[in-house]
Structure 1
Amino acid sequence: MELLDRITNYLIDNDLKLATAESCTAGLIASELARVPGSGQSIDCGLAVYSPPSKHRYLGVSFDTIDAQGLTSEAVACEMAAGALNNNDADVALANTGIAGPNPGDDGTPVGTVCFAWAFRHEGHHHHFCETRRFDGERNEVRLAASHYALERLPHYHRLCRGAEANDEEDERSRRAVQRAIGVQLMVKPVIDPQREIERRCGFLCRALCESGQKTLVLGISGGVDSTVAGRLAQLAVEQARERGKQATFAAMRLPYGTQKDADDANRALAFIRPDEVLEVNVQSGSDALLEALETGGLAFQDAGQRDFVLGNIKARQRMVTQYAVAGTRGGLVIGTDQAAEALMGFFTKYGDGACDVAPLTGLTKRQVRQLGRQLGAPAELVDKAPTADLESLAPLKLDEEALGVTYDEIDDFLEGRPIPGRAYDTIVTTYRRTGHKRSLPIAPGAFT
């Protein structure tokens, strides 16, 4: 118990939360540490992941890495640790993968070979360290020895990450592993077949409508590529449902705030989509009235910019309320247009355009949405249009990329696992972590126990 007591005290003294991702030890690291009374305050979670699909699903380990390096490899251990660190509320992650016995690995790896990785979050950076060791003994003796070794080395590597920056190789390995883990979490596939995705996502909308017992799909059309593609998918889905004898209608909505400067694009999108029904509701009066009521009630803003920002979110939420009013009247489901690029950056209004019943573009990067648009035959000027949320009255048609601080190409490259500049990488990862609350369900008391 001396080792376990010492590591527990080290974690507590340094205010560290631990996550484990264990293959050959199958949860023994976390289990051993949990023997110490009070250790629970320093343990965030423990994952036992044996199969390649589970390593990919829960930790973002690349199948390419597994194929190229083998399951028992430092590369796989490093990606496991990165995934455990990135996907949990932890400061340090331990991972291992190896051959506990009784038989050697399929590739001849000797019994007792274990690859370890330690990942740390320190002062805004991730640091990774790897080792390979071989242990003697029977299967369970190897597992116990490997578990204790992983814990024994934790303080050593933690001191290293506090005392020096990671070297270039460690830094690049960390970046790749974080990219993969986030991409998997957002359900991104680096390469897609546009026609297959169209069929799959139309089928999804059709099933969702039919199985819910509802009869209408509702979506606001802005004139951007996301709502254009989602709108056409919705119309195809209700036509598919009608072919099956179901009552199904698509209600497209125009939801301008006053006079929309790019209204021609919205009309062009509607002409392409050919929805069953179009409803137009101007949200200006409701949005302005709410803002005025807030100010009458005593709400004061720092400056005109903050006031305009708050009004922008009110507009988005008014549009959500309007769509749900139609859905409630017609027996409908509200469609969301969130895709992986916006999800990554938290670039949506919580309970505004982020509120929906079905999200058919989930997992697609921005360039992949454009691919679907081209495959569907959408007008090129809509497919290639520079994206704008157009929520700020003081900066009409402000480009998304200006607000985000990175380009959509950089965001898509990040999600698809391609190299990107360090500046863009830092901006994306920082924004992703800062906006995590937007992608989560409301926090409940159990989250703190």
Structure 2
Amino acid sequence: MELLDRITDYLIDNELKLATAESCTAGLIVSELARVPGSGQSIDCGLGVYSPQSKNRYLGVSFDTIERYGLTSEAVASEMAAGALNNNDADVALANTGIAGPNPGDDDTPIGTVCFAWAFCHDGDHHHYCETRRFDGTRNEVRLAAAHYALERLPHYHRLCLESATQSQEETRSRRAVQRAIGVQLQARSDIDVRYEIERRRDFLCRVMQESGQSTLVLGISGGVDSTVAGRLAQLAVEQRREQGEQATFVAMRLPYGVQQDADDANAALAFIRPDEVLDVNIQAASDALLEALESGGMTFKDAHQRDFVLGNVKARQRMVAQYAVAGARGGLVIGTDQAAEALMGFFTKYGDGACDVAPLTGLSKRQVRLLGQQLGAPDALVNKAPTADLESLAPQKLDEVALGVSYEEIDDFLENREVSERAFDTILTTYRRTGHKRRLPIAPD
């Protein structure tokens, strides 16, 4: 108990909250620590993750990492720790993966081999440390020794973190582990089979329609590549449903605020998509009326730019109100155009364009969406169009990349687990953490 008491005191004294991701020890670290009265205030959660699927599902461990390095590897342990730290309310995460026995690993890894990772979040930065050790004894003796070793080394690595004594190699490993974990959480992949993805996502829409009993798909078409690709997938899906003898309709919506500056692009997208039906609903009157009602009710803004920004979000939400009105009347599902690049940066309006029933572009980087568009035969002008949300009246056609402070090329490289500059990495990670509330369900009491 001396070790457990000491580690509990250390966690409490340093105001640390612990999360564990345990494969070899299967929850034993948390179980052992919980023997100490009062330790609960320093424990956030303990995850027992044996299978590769559970490591991927709950922690974002990449199957590519597992295949390349093996389950018993520091690379896998590092991604487990990163996932535990990213997904929970913790300052420190312990992870392990190894072979407790009675048989060696499939790759002949010796019994008793355990790979550990300790991850810390300090001043917004993540620090990762790894070790591989081999323990003697029976299966349960190995598990207990590994659990105690993970706890015993926690203060050592925490002090390194506080002293900023991490070497450049550890910093690089930390950054890449965080990058991989975020990419997997957003279902991003380095490479895709474009034709397969088109079929898979079309079939996904068909399956959701069948399972939900809905007969209509609804989507707003802006003239950008995302809505163009999602719209064409929707039209292909309803046509397939009709070939199967089912009733199905795709309703495309034009949702301008007043006069849309790039209306020609929206019309070109519709000509390419060839939707069953097009509804043209101008949202200006409804958006302006709501803003006027807010101001009549006493709402004030600090300046014109804040007022314009709020109105921009009203526009985005008004567009979704219109789409759900149509879906409700037609027995339909609303399609979202969110892809991994926008999800990573939180570049969508909460309960506006971020609200939908189905999101067929999930996991795709921006360049991968363009590849789908090219394969589908979309006009080059739409496929390669510079993205703009076009929500701010005082800054019409403002480019996404200007608002984001980083290019889509860099965002895509981050998602596809490629090298990015330190500046881009810091910008992306800071934005990802700041916009986390957009990717979560509403906060509820513990």
Instruction: With the length of structure 1 as denominator, give the TM-score of the two structures.
Output: 0.97
Asked whether 1:233 is paired with 2:233, we answer yes
Q: CA RMSD in A?
A: 1.3
Structure 2 unmatched runs, 5+: none
Q: Percent same amino acid among aligned pairs? A: 82
Q: Give 3-state SS (helix, strand or coil) of 2:287's partner.
A: helix
Match of 1:101 in 2: 101
Q: Give 3-state SS (helix, strand or coil) of 2:94's partner.
A: strand
In structure 1, C-alpha distance between the alignment counterparts of 2:207 and 2:102, rounded to whole Å: 48
Q: CA offset at residue 112 of structure 1?
A: 1.9
The question of whether the paired residues in 1 share the 8 Å contact of 2:62 and 2:184 is answered with no
Q: Deviations over 1:345-389 (max 9, x none)?
A: 110000101111111111111111101100100000000000000
Using the TM superposition, name which of 383-392 and 160-169 deviates more: 160-169
Asked whether 1:276 is paired with 2:262, we answer no
Match of 2:8 in 1: 8
The question of whether the paired residues in 2 share the 8 Å contact of 1:210 and 1:246 is answered with no
The question of whether the paired residues in 2 share the 8 Å contact of 1:219 and 1:253 is answered with yes
Using the TM superposition, name which of 208-217 and 311-320 deviates more: 208-217
Using the TM superposition, name which of 36-45 and 323-332 deviates more: 36-45
In structure 2, C-alpha distance between the alignment counterparts of 1:76 and 1:425, rounded to whole Å: 21
The question of whether the paired residues in 2 share the 8 Å contact of 1:119 and 1:129 is answered with yes
In structure 1, C-alpha distance between the alignment counterparts of 2:175 and 2:404, rounded to whole Å: 20
The question of whether the paired residues in 2 share the 8 Å contact of 1:251 and 1:279 is answered with yes
Match of 1:392 in 2: 392
Match of 2:143 in 1: 143
Match of 2:304 in 1: 304
Q: Give 3-state SS (helix, strand or coil) of 2:50's partner.
A: coil
In structure 2, C-alpha distance between the alignment counterparts of 1:212 and 1:80, rounded to whole Å: 35
In structure 2, C-alpha distance between the alignment counterparts of 1:47 and 1:144, rounded to whole Å: 16
Q: CA offset at residue 72 of structure 1?
A: 2.3
Using the TM superposition, name which of 131-140 and 315-324 deviates more: 131-140
Q: Deviations over 1:196-216 (max 9, x none)?
A: 111111111112123222221
Match of 2:344 in 1: 344
Q: Deviations over 1:2-53 (max 9, x none)?
A: 2212211211221111111111111100111112222222111111122233
Q: Give 3-state SS (helix, strand or coil) of 1:158's partner.
A: helix
Match of 2:180 in 1: 180
The question of whether the paired residues in 2 share the 8 Å contact of 1:61 and 1:177 is answered with no
Paired residue type of 1:160:
L
In structure 1, C-alpha distance between the alignment counterparts of 2:248 and 2:68, rounded to whole Å: 48
Match of 1:366 in 2: 366
Paired residue type of 2:304:
A
Superposed, which structure 2 residues align to 1:189-338 within 5 Å? Answer: 189-338=189-338
Paired residue type of 2:158:
H
Paired residue type of 1:131:
E
Q: CA offset at residue 165 of structure 1?
A: 4.5
In structure 1, C-alpha distance between the alignment counterparts of 2:46 and 2:189, rounded to whole Å: 27
In structure 2, C-alpha distance between the alignment counterparts of 1:121 and 1:281, rounded to whole Å: 47
Using the TM superposition, name which of 164-173 and 358-367 deviates more: 164-173
Q: Give 3-state SS (helix, strand or coil) of 1:197's partner.
A: helix
Asked whether 1:171 is paired with 2:171, we answer yes
Match of 2:85 in 1: 85
In structure 1, C-alpha distance between the alignment counterparts of 2:379 and 2:105, rounded to whole Å: 55
Paired residue type of 2:154:
L
In structure 2, C-alpha distance between the alignment counterparts of 1:109 and 1:189, rounded to whole Å: 29
In structure 2, C-alpha distance between the alignment counterparts of 1:143 and 1:277, rounded to whole Å: 62
Match of 2:421 in 1: 421
Q: Deviations over 1:209-257 (max 9, x none)?
A: 2322222111100000000011111111111111111111111100000
Cα 1:89/1:283, change in 2 over 3 Å = same
In structure 2, C-alpha distance between the alignment counterparts of 1:30 and 1:51, rounded to whole Å: 19
Paired residue type of 1:349:
T
The question of whether the paired residues in 2 share the 8 Å contact of 1:258 and 1:283 is answered with yes
The question of whether the paired residues in 2 share the 8 Å contact of 1:17 and 1:89 is answered with yes
In structure 1, C-alpha distance between the alignment counterparts of 2:49 and 2:157, rounded to whole Å: 23
The question of whether the paired residues in 1 share the 8 Å contact of 2:221 and 2:266 is answered with yes
Q: CA offset at residue 267 of structure 1?
A: 0.4
Match of 1:24 in 2: 24
Aligned length: 446
Structure 1 unmatched runs, 5+: none
